[in-house]
Amino acid sequence: MNPFFALPQLGAALGAVAIYWALPRPWRVPYLGLASAAVLAWLDPAALVALGALTLLVSRTGSGLLWPLAGLAALFLGVRADPLLGLGLAVPLGFGFWVPRLAHVLVERQRDTLPAHELWDLWAYVAFLPTLRVGPIHRFDAFLRDHARQRWDVAVLARGAQRVLEGYAKLVVLAGWLVADLAHGQVLALSAAGRDGGVVLLECALYGGNLYFAFAGYSDIAIGFALMLGFRIRENFDHPFLRPNLQRFWESWHRSLSTWCRDYVFTPVLASTRRRAPALVLAMLVLAGWHELSLRYLCWGCWHAAGLVVHMVWRRRVAPRLGGPSGPLGRVAVRCLSTGLTVAFVLVGFVFTKNTGWAGIQADWGLLLGGAP
């Protein structure tokens, strides 16, 4: 389990919640900022320095948008490109989540959509303790609004605690015991007997299941912890493997990141080019680079971009000519078929990310296409 969410840290989090509500309202945001700074100083002092410096720079940025965004992008790409360059750089704690938050603040300040705020507000938002390490990527205006409206509510506190427990159940029972222990052992036994395309698909399903349950569990803990502090963080997962097409999948998987890419990559590119396909491709490449700027992740981004473009063409040009299914059974059958195809497409795409080297990717694709092991 991630040590940031180990049981001793959970006890410290509960203590932080108690102190937060005991303080007068004007002291709460500064307290959150100090608590986040203390945790960063304990876990990753370099991240504290980097995040503090960037937050201060963003707070002092005026109306110019190009150079601050270019600087953030260059910093992000430089760190994410380390697997490709082999420099051995250490990724600061929470780096992939606080850089998009800072970019969001820069853009929305340029649009003049942010409420009035102080440096303490910005720091408490960017380094918000529940979402510091694993997200979700929440928005500054919602953070300020929740703080202004929050009040002590035992029912909300209980819902937050319940959500934290649900997150631990996903991490320990589903991701830990069911997928990582039980299912992993079965797949290893099958692999030892001889790998083929079916075993590769099972490995992809195992990888995707562990990724989903672990990340959804972390998100539940973060959302529940935030709710106990009076902040409502957007949902990050909404049953993505039950969605009937790839567009709906990405509206349900890692929603905070996909929404960020939609708002700050896809929509501006679409507005400037009037073409959806290039906007989709660029958004998926940015989303892939967010994970890791490497060949395998760029291929994974291209895989999903191609799927989204094909789905767009199908929905706009082919489906209207075919017409819809007739009767409830026909609709159920089409829904099951489309959901199955979507899940299969997503699982096959994990071939790119579950392998750390290109040789493994080539070998898995050979098996999937019917080649000899």
The tens-digit pLDDT sequence of the chain (373 residues) is: 444 455 566 777 888 899 999 999 989 999 999 999 999 999 889 889 989 998 998 888 766 666 777 777 777 777 777 656 656 566 788 888 989 999 999 899 888 888 888 999 999 999 999 999 888 999 999 999 999 998 899 999 999 999 999 999 999 899 988 888 888 888 888 777 788 888 999 999 999 999 999 999 999 999 999 999 999 998 999 999 999 999 999 999 999 999 999 999 999 999 999 999 999 999 999 999 998 888 899 999 999 999 999 999 998 888 778 777 777 888 888 889 999 999 999 999 999 999 988 999 999 999 998 865 5
The identity of residue 249, as a single letter, is: F
**67 and 145 in a common domain:** yes
**63 and 190 in a common domain:** no
**195 and 105 in a common domain:** no
233 located within any domain: no
pLDDT, residue 3, reads 41
Please give the DSSP secondary-structure letter assigned to residue 176.
I
pLDDT, residue 182, reads 85
Instruction: Looking at the chain, list the stretches that DSSP marks H as alpha helix, in order from N- to C-terminal side.
Output: 7-22, 25-43, 45-60, 66-80, 82-85, 95-110, 119-126, 140-149, 154-169, 184-193, 197-228, 246-250, 255-261, 267-273, 276-291, 295-313, 319-322, 327-354, 358-368
373 located within any domain: no
185 located within any domain: yes
> 300: closest CA among 257, 245, 258, 349?
349
pLDDT, residue 192, reads 77
Residue that finishes a domain, picked among 168, 200, 228: 228
**Chain centroid offset of residue 359 CA:** 27
- Rounded distance, CA 251 to CA 168, Å? 24
- Rounded distance, CA 34 to CA 163, Å? 25
**210 and 166 in a common domain:** yes
**247 and 361 in a common domain:** yes
**40 and 142 in a common domain:** yes
The identity of residue 370, as a single letter, is: G
Tell me whether residue 306 is exposed, middle or buried, using C-beta atoms within 10 angstroms of its C-beta: 0 to 12, 13 to 18, 19 or more.
middle
pLDDT, residue 62, reads 67
**72 and 175 in a common domain:** no
**182 and 144 in a common domain:** no
**200 and 82 in a common domain:** no
235 located within any domain: no
**106 and 174 in a common domain:** no
Residue that finishes a domain, picked among 91, 126, 149: 149
Tell me whether residue 15 is exposed, middle or buried, using C-beta atoms within 10 angstroms of its C-beta: 0 to 12, 13 to 18, 19 or more.
exposed
Tell me whether residue 33 is exposed, middle or buried, using C-beta atoms within 10 angstroms of its C-beta: 0 to 12, 13 to 18, 19 or more.
buried
- Rounded distance, CA 77 to CA 264, Å? 16
pLDDT, residue 2, reads 46
Domain that holds residue 103: 3-149
319 located within any domain: yes
**135 and 10 in a common domain:** yes
Q: How many CB atoms neighbour CB 367 within 10 A?
A: 19
Q: Answer yes or no: are the C-beta atoms of 51 and 126 closer than 8 Å.
A: yes
Q: How many CB atoms neighbour CB 101 within 10 A?
A: 25
Contacts 24+ apart (CB under 8 A), 71-77: 72/99, 72/102, 72/103, 72/106, 73/103, 75/99, 76/290, 77/289, 77/293
pLDDT, residue 330, reads 82
**22 and 105 in a common domain:** yes
Q: Answer yes or no: are the C-beta atoms of 249 and 342 closer than 8 Å.
A: yes
Phi-psi region of 232 (alpha: psi -120 to 50; beta: other; left: phi over 0): beta
> 220: closest CA among 273, 173, 270?
173
Work out how many domains the chain is built from and give that number.
Answer: 3
- Rounded distance, CA 22 to CA 20, Å? 5
Residue that finishes a domain, picked among 149, 174, 209: 149
Torsions phi, psi for 79 (to 5 deg): -75, -45
pLDDT, residue 4, reads 47
Q: Answer yes or no: are the C-beta atoms of 290 and 80 closer than 8 Å.
A: yes
